Structure 1
Amino acid sequence: MARSFEKIAKINERKELWKIIMKVHHKWNVLSNNKEHLELIFVNVDGTNIHVVVPIALKAAFDSVLVINNTYIVTNFLPQTNDIMFKTSEHPFIIRFTVGTSVSDINKHEISRKNLNFKPFSDIILENGITISY
C-alpha cells in the first residue's frame, strides 16, 4: 500500500520517511568555504512553507530538477531543527536532502503561488535585543 501524503506543518524529527506534495517557492545557491550548496523554500497547498537544504554532494543531482513554481512529490528527507540565524521560514524544522531523497511527479498537483510575508523590522529588533537611539 502506498504511503499517504503528509503536510509540511506536520514535519518533525521523529522520522525520516516523509512524503509531501510541494511547490518550489524560492531557490538560491549558497557559497561557503569555496563550495556551493542549494537552498530552497517549499510551500504546500495550505500555504505552509519550510526551508530546504540540498548539500554539496547532492546539488548536481537536484539543481536542474527543482525549478521555481513547479510542484513535486518529495520523499525520504531528514528533518532538522531550524536553528538558522536568518530564518526564511517560521517552521521549527528545516528539510535536509539525503542520498535517499527522491523527487517525482513534476506538475501533477496544483498549488497556488504564495505571497511573501516579511517580518517587520520592529520584530527583528525586539527579538535581537537591539536598541536604537536617535
Structure 2
Amino acid sequence: MERPCQFIGDVTDKSDFWKLTVRVKDKWTVVKDGKEHLEMIIVDVKGHTSCYSYDIQSYL
C-alpha cells in the first residue's frame, strides 16, 4: 500500500515515516565541532516551510 503525500504542517512526532513532496528554498553548509553538515529550508506546495524561526523573516 502506497502512503499518501503529506504536507509539512501535518508532520507530528506520532509517526516515524512521512511521504513529503518539497522544494529546497535554500541550503548551506555548517561546520560545528569540526563536523560539516548541510542545513536547508524546504517548502511544500501549500507554502509551509521548515526552518529556524530566526530565518523566517529573510524568506518572506
If the length of structure 1 is used for normalisation, what is the TM-score? 0.40
User: Which 4+ runs in 1 deviate beyond 4 A?
Assistant: none
Cα distance in 1 between the residues matched to 2:2 and 2:18: 12
Unmatched segments (≥5 aa) in structure 2: none
Question: Which residue identity is paired with 2:27?
Answer: K
Percent identical: 31
Between structures 1 and 2, the one with greater strand share: 2
How far off is 1:14 after superposition?
Answer: 1.1
Matched, 1:7 2:26: no
SS of equivalent to 2:9: helix
Question: Which residue identity is paired with 1:13?
Answer: D
2:36 corresponding residue in structure 1: 36
1:22 corresponding residue in structure 2: 22
Cα distance in 1 between the residues matched to 2:54 and 2:42: 14
Unmatched segments (≥5 aa) in structure 1: 52-83, 90-115, 118-134
The structure-2 alpha-carbon separation of the partners of 1:2 and 1:43, relative to structure 1 and needing over 3 Å to count, comes to same
The structure-2 alpha-carbon separation of the partners of 1:12 and 1:29, relative to structure 1 and needing over 3 Å to count, comes to same
Question: How many correspondences in the alignment?
Answer: 59
1:54-93 → structure 2 map (5 Å cutoff) = 87-89=54-56
